[in-house]
């Protein structure tokens, strides 16, 4: 799928821009841009579906979704306005060749962390999962103990203090706590 981006500062036509107006370049809709567009649609749909929530129930999803929507839109704008490598063998943003084994391993690792965080939220509840997963992630990254403990406690204090205590956002209890008879 091709679409045109008007950019009058660059000149010179290539075979990819043949038939395009002078000063325009053709941009391929690649996987990264398609993913970003999907995120914008997901966040916009989430905001639309939550529009009838009362303030107490909607505050947390509105906060997270609005921040995610703004970041996704900014990322798309940045992707569309920056020049990217064109050959298949070019390096990615981190200097590694695209599709390398290390890039694939790191992508799988972050997907595993995301799934692990979902499981921790379901098992432990949101606030406690914030503490545990932040601690485990930082220790796995070999961060110093003092920083690991400080950031884990700060994340927990923020989520628990702001959302659960100050704003009374009703997070469901963790399933493990329910099974042990200490939750909902």
For 27-49, how does the pLDDT look when each residue is reduced to its tens digit (9 = 90+)?
667 788 888 899 999 999 999 99
Task: Return the DSSP state at 91.
Answer: B
Mean pLDDT, residues 115-140 taken together = 94
155 belongs to a structural domain: yes
151 belongs to a structural domain: yes
pLDDT over threshold 80, residue 95: no
Local structure of 5: helix, strand or coil: strand
Query: What is the extent of the structural domain holding 161?
Result: 99-184
What is the model's pTM?
A: 0.56
108 belongs to a structural domain: yes
50 belongs to a structural domain: no
Residue 114 vs residue 97, higher pLDDT: 114
15 belongs to a structural domain: no
Question: pLDDT tens digits, residue range 163-172?
Answer: 888 888 878 8
Number of separate domains in the chain: 1
């Amino acid at each position: 799928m091709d679409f045109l981006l008007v950019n009058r500062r660059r000149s010179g036509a290539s075979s990819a821009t043949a038939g395009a107006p002078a000063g325009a370049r053709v941009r391929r809709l690649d996987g990264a841009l398609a993913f970003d567009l999907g995120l914008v649609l997901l966040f916009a749909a989430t905001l639309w579906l939550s529009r009838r929530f009362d303030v107490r129930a909607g505050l947390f999803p509105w906060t997270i979704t609005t921040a995610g929507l703004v970041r996704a839109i900014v990322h798309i704008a940045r992707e569309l306005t920056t020049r990217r490598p064109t050959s298949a063998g070019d390096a990615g943003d981190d200097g590694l060749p695209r599709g390398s084994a290390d890039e694939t391993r790191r992508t799988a690792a972050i997907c595993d962390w995301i799934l692990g965080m979902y499981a921790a939220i379901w098992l432990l509840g949101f606030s406690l999962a914030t503490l545990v997963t932040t601690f485990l992630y930082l220790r796995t990254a070999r961060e110093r103990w003092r920083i690991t403990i400080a950031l884990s406690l700060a994340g927990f204090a923020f989520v628990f203090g702001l959302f659960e205590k100050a704003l009374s956002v009703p997070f469901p209890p963790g399933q493990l706590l329910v099974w042990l008879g200490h939750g909902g």
